[in-house]
Every structure is written in structure tokens, then in C-alpha cells.
A = this chain, B = another copy of it.
């Protein structure tokens, strides 16, 4: 490919509206262009990377017996009514009517379509296990699209579905997929990623794992034990909480706290520590509008995901005054709520004594409350987020918190979909059984952008050799020189002939612009020839990632490049 013909412009300026390094660089290097909120076109270099990542995924899915299929993007409502998800998924799913006024939707995921394909197709236990997968466009109407392809509304996804007759068989296969995923991410070039226990969200099912690219700009928090390697998404992570002091000091006492409403304000006003307070966090359920009050120790944050699971509904903002409560003064003692309200006590309150909480009365709090004395019937649940420094429940070691971007996930779905849709398999003993499913997703665009977060530097993109849009950036300087021009054309042809994927910077412009572009675009190997290097009949070869420079005799250039490319791919794939 000659860069003079390449569709896409490199720009110096940081584009407005982009904050993530990866997003900025994709725009600046001419890889993507925004079409709407969370909607992008991929320009030729990005599509090349996209296809290379897809190919790695395809190879690894095929290697574990996966069979590629294609499900439709648009599906009729009836299919999703069978699973109940037409109603249960809210505004993330696009719904519309077709010309015949028929309810249709855009698939966010394809469990229903997978079961539909397998029904009456796999009928005997001999037809299982099997795994089908597709690589297809999906649209999710995200409330807050962000970071380019990291959280786009439209994206390319590999989604896979496996079917089994026994839980043991699923367990075995699930492990195979997990290993295949690790191979995929390693082959893409990831070095900083972890597998954590995941949250099942809208999928249903019990066991799940998330593959997380570790990065400071990740939206997810991960809890990791450096000792026993316990690792989990903070949404579902567990920990040993700090023990509370068991001494009771004095009786309850109502105190005026005026406009002090937040836990910080109350602590400042009463000159106490957040650890000696119990705060209330309030919501209502989106299904039914029931009030939900969660009490937890003042220095902890609520885990909305766990709370949401407890009440089996999504949660939304509530105006507590509508329920007759005093916002900013809600407390454990003397709380008066509707009969159908949920009230939960987090485990961080266990054994808490001598603490401050709201008085359920405007402008007042209560001091010297004691769980053991004043709330002795309370039962405790786990609804607080894990904090840095807490202990691992498995080994007691101190936990660390880090951030990550979810680049893949795998789920054990159980029989949630096969049961709902009535898919049955004839078993050897004459009975029938609903198959047990697993499902396995990889966001291709998100992987593409996350690897940039891991590898890019302040000069621009840095592509691993396995997925780079081109392997070599061939950059002759002074191409207006007839001699350089002729040698360049010749070398370019020889590189192409040798099967090297090369981008030839054939522009007669300043060396500075060309070298800067080569760094911005992140092609792994740059080859420069100029009147100066040609005086020694050699080329200057630079490794983008390390900056390492070599001078290679022109006669050995092609064969040396082939070896360097091969070595680099072997290095990336060495531990598979």
C-alpha cells in the first residue's frame, strides 16, 4: 500500500471531545471517524486490524471445535418474548416496528437465536456437546458511550454459545474456552490482563469470568489478592471487613446537626470519624417502585450491583420525602417506612457500637447508638464495596484494587434459555433434558482499543506484530532524488513479493512529517533509506516499541525483515 493512496488523514491536533489516549490516537492517526454518538466508521487501517483480530479469534474458536454461523442483527419480538428478555431489558435495546407493524429489535446478544438454531437441529445427546459462534455487528443503546470503541453503541462482537447434557461437561468445556481466551488475548498482544470472577448482569446464570485489560482508565474496579490470586470484579468481590469495636459507651442521645446532611458534614459537625457512623443509601426499584434503604458504615460505599440482585430489580433515584422520610437525617432507630420497603444492614455494621446515625427527624442525628443493644434483631448482608487494604477471604492476605477494561466475558448460563424456549434433548435412558448452555463474548473493537491503552506511547500508536495494520513502514527520505526513488520502488516491490505487509511512504515531503506519521501510526518496524544510508548501501531499521535502531545492508534487508517479523510473532505467541 502506498500512503499517497491510503484513505485517511493524520492530524497533529488533539480532537475535541476525546479524552482517552486510545481514542485520541485512533482519531489522530486516521483510523476511525465518528458518525454519531457511540457510532464510528473504521477507515482502512482500523479495518485491517479489525480483520486480523477477528482472524485470531476465529482460529482459536475453531481450534476448540467451534462452528462459525451467522445470526441476524434484526429479530422479531416473539423470539425474545420466549426468554422474557423483550420486556426485561430496558432502554439499552433498540425496538422498532416494521412496515407491517410487527415488533422487531436489534440483537444485543444472541442466546435466543442460538437456541432457535439448535432446536430440532440437536435432538439427541449424541448431537452434544457443540459450540456455535458468530462475528457480527451489535447495537446497544448505551446511556453513556465513551472512549471511542471502548464503549461504543455499535460494535463488532464475537459471541459463542455451547450446549451440553451435563454440568460436568459444561465445566470442562468452559475451562477450554477460558484457555482459548487467554491464548486469544496473548496473541493479540495483551500482556497486562487478568481473569476475574464476573457479574452475570442481564445474562442470568451463575458462574462467569471477565477478562480485564488492566489500565488506569478502566471503568471497572478489580479486587486482586497478590498471594492466592483471587481476583474479582468489585461488583461481586468479597472481603474480610474490618472488625468493629465491641465496647458500648453511654446511652443514645439526640443531637442537633442542622444542615449537616452528608456523612462528611455530619462527621465534621460532631467531630467524629466516619468509621463511627452508619449512613443510609436510598433507591427505589424500577420494577414496582418499592423503597430500598441500605445502611452501611459511613466510610464504606454501597455496592449497587449486589443490592440490585438482593431486590431482584434495577434501582433508580428516589425522592425519600415522598415516602415521608427526612433526607439527610435517615437513621436506623425509629425508622418508619412503608410495609413493602426493603431495609438492609451491611455487614460493616456488625458489632458497631457507640455510633452516629440519623434521627429520622429534620436537623437531628443520634449519638451513642449500639447495634447489639439497639438493633439486636438486625441480620446482615454484603452490600458494601471492597476497599483497598481489606483482607482476602481465601488466604487473609491484603487485597489490592486496580482498574480495568472488560475485553471479554464467559458465562455459564445453565438451562435458563433452553428451558424458557422448550429445547429438549433425548437422553440415552429414554428421558428428555434441557441442554445446559455456556456463552462467551469478545468485543473486537474494545480489544482493538484496549491494546492501544496498554502499548501506545506519547509518540503515538504501537501495534503488536500479530495485529498491526502493516508490518513494515517503508520510509524513504528525499524520494525526489531519482536514485532514491528508483531504489525505493524496487525495494517496495521486493517487500510485497516477499509477503511483507508494507506501507510505503511515497510522499515527496519533509522527513520530519514522514517520521512523525510513522510513529503516530504505530507500525512495528520502520525502514528508512536516504542518500546518507545509501552511501553505505544500508537501511536504517527502527523498532517502534523499543526505539531500538539497526543498520542493515540493503542486500540483506528483505530476508532480515522476514526474520524480524517472524521472531516478533514468535515472541508474542511463545507461551501458548
Contact = CB atoms under 8 A, between A and B. Distances in A.
Contact of A121 (B8, B96, B106, B120): B8
Interface in A109-141: 113, 116-118, 120-123, 126, 130, 132, 134, 136-137, 139, 141
B74 A44 contact: no
A33 B117 contact: yes
A136 B139 CA distance: 14
Q: Is chain A's interface secondary structure helix, strand, loop, or mixed overall?
A: mixed
Q: Which 7 A-B pairs have the closest CB atoms?
A: A96-B96, A36-B76, A42-B70, A44-B67, A91-B99, A39-B72, A99-B141
Interface stretch (A46-54, A449-457, A528-536, A541-549): A46-54
A480 to B, nearest CB: 15
Contacts of A72: 35-36, 39-41, 154
Contact of A48 (B43, B68, B143, B153): B68
A43 B7 contact: no
Interface residues of A, number: 66
Nearest to A95: B96
Contacts of A8: 121
Contacts of A75: 35-36, 39
A263 to B, nearest CB: 33
Interface of A: 4-9, 30, 33, 35-37, 39-44, 46-48, 50-51, 65, 67-76, 78-79, 91-92, 94-96, 98-100, 102, 104, 106, 113, 116-118, 120-123, 126, 130, 132, 134, 136-137, 139, 141, 143, 153-154, 156
Given A35-B76, A74-B153, A154-B74, A69 B7 contact: yes
B116 A35 contact: yes
Contacts of A78: 36
A76 B121 CA distance: 39
A47 B68 contact: yes
A130 B7 CA distance: 8
Contacts of A118: 7
Nearest to A9: B121
A160 to B, nearest CB: 12
Contacts of A153: 74, 98
Contacts of A69: 7, 41-44, 47
A90 B143 CA distance: 29
A91 B98 CA distance: 8
A259 to B, nearest CB: 36
A467 to B, nearest CB: 15
Given A69-B47, A76-B39, A121-B9, A4 B91 contact: no
A94 B91 contact: no
B35 A65 contact: no
Given A43-B117, A116-B41, A139 B74 contact: yes
